[in-house]
A and B are shown apart, each in its own frame.
Chain A
């Protein structure tokens, strides 16, 4: 076990510092064509007419693809998790976000590809977009998705992620004060220094070699195979050398389209997004709208929590239902709250579809929960460390979805923070531990939620 505890150099460290690491755009295959895309210029529109004929006959163009070239136009990337397909690989009848890809060109130079894109004709019937998730529920809101304005396919065809625990009405009736807060983190761009890029080479054997920047090779392989209706053994994905991803390179956003162009042209094709495309069209971390109302006692116990979450999924579902599900399990954060009423909605808007980014679903609720704990302390004029320590998860406490905690580290962590910040805790708070609640730390309202950690 020489490696454990040792400070090992990166296996690719010398490659990085000598400029020899081969990223996708550094792979050179003779005869490679450049790809450019026709993208939606508006947030929402019906497509009246798309005419690519001028592009097809333009100088240097070897292939043009539209939705008609895609064997399986809609494939749900997370259908394995029960999320049905809703998004066409290339837009068909309507456009739902600015930047949505409509048609792609493979040509002998970047300039030729761009000129061909500009030669296409696109007639649109622009429509009123929905850009604010709070308005999605209004009776007069435009309906922008075939499923309605929010995702309806949670288990048992529920239209929300719902958690109910204990007796929320009693908690609110018993409270000394209700503390409310609204939290609205904005979208975040991943901004990897390497933009989305893909190179597909049609081999003589009939296989496609796909050089990709995806963060998930096998996952993307499955997506490509599904859209193209090809067996997996027709694809060889080469990758794992990614110039930053952070969750933004899991959407398989380029591979399938490049594969289609490679098949149609018979030539290697490469699509490298510009930085402007990255900012305008690539998926982001989702914006969220979270409303929390806590029923609290004047000595700092949180008896119950009502929470409403709206998750901005953008134009399509992608991974949002999964993100919201994780979010719902964590909506009490590191704290034990026995009476809960949580409703979360995956809401569609005419914005770029949102996707994974480092802990997506959970980071938003962590931010809201921690900020709200401080707000509770402020309203009650209590010490924010003490409010947290009192309500902190302990062994035997249960999570919103009934998981029994066997080893929560909340109490020692908060004590360590207090120590590092030079914050003096009173003796009884310094003496707290993560062990099973008892005595003053087990008020009546927490008794029913205590579970058996051994049985877990």
Chain B
């Protein structure tokens, strides 16, 4: 079967039940999606399938004939960063970087589908993504900034206004 990844068509050798994650990492050498849990619980494997954020560890590649997959490599490159990549860089939204690929693709899909800088809406959209390093505050600020269409000075990082009540707990 054929699979289009980041605009390039690949003819796959992997069996139909192979997860998209394993196809990307092991067969195609595209290593930005990560194997954080391989159970759909962490979001580190998230990629875009026809523009929608999906867990690649849960998708058998056999259902994706004709689909277009996007990973962060397809979003932008070091000298041509996509707005969401600039937002994450400027807002210091990545520490160890392991959750970053999945987190950014979910954020990208959110912004592309008209998501606003509302904290609650961002939390809802990215709810399946776990980060153990940052405490989420700067990730949410980065997504909000991208949703607003801010422009970013990549030579410096943003001061964090700080956020409270991230989870909306009353």
Contacts and interface: CB of A to CB of B under 8 A. Distances in A.
B98 A243 contact: yes
A400 B35 CA distance: 46
A192 interface: yes
**Interface SS majority for chain B:** loop
A274 B42 CA distance: 13
Contacts of A246: 132
A193 interface: yes
A28 B94 contact: no
A18 B157 contact: no
B81 A17 contact: yes
Contacts of B37: 275
A311 B43 CA distance: 35
A18 B31 CA distance: 11
A7 interface: yes
A26 B85 contact: no
B67 interface: no
B33 to A, nearest CB: 8
B156 interface: yes
A16 interface: yes
A422 to B, nearest CB: 16
B79 to A, nearest CB: 9
A249 to B, nearest CB: 11
B43 to A, nearest CB: 9
Contact of A25 (B35, B76, B130, B157): B35
A31 interface: no
B17 interface: no
Given A17-B72, A21-B97, A193 B89 contact: no
A10 interface: yes
Contacts of A275: 36-39, 41-42
A154 interface: no
A28 B44 CA distance: 19
B108 to A, nearest CB: 11
B135 to A, nearest CB: 13
A15 interface: yes
Contacts of B3: none
B29 to A, nearest CB: 7
9 contacts: A15-B97, A17-B94, A17-B100, A20-B32, A20-B78, A190-B132, A194-B36, A275-B37, A275-B42
Interface of B: 25, 29, 31-32, 34-39, 41-42, 44, 71-73, 75-78, 81, 85, 88-90, 92, 94, 96-101, 104, 130-133, 154-159
Given A22-B31, A25-B31, 16 more contacts: A7-B158, A10-B89, A14-B89, A17-B85, A18-B72, A18-B73, A18-B77, A19-B71, A20-B32, A23-B34, A25-B25, A192-B132, A193-B36, A193-B130, A194-B96, A243-B97
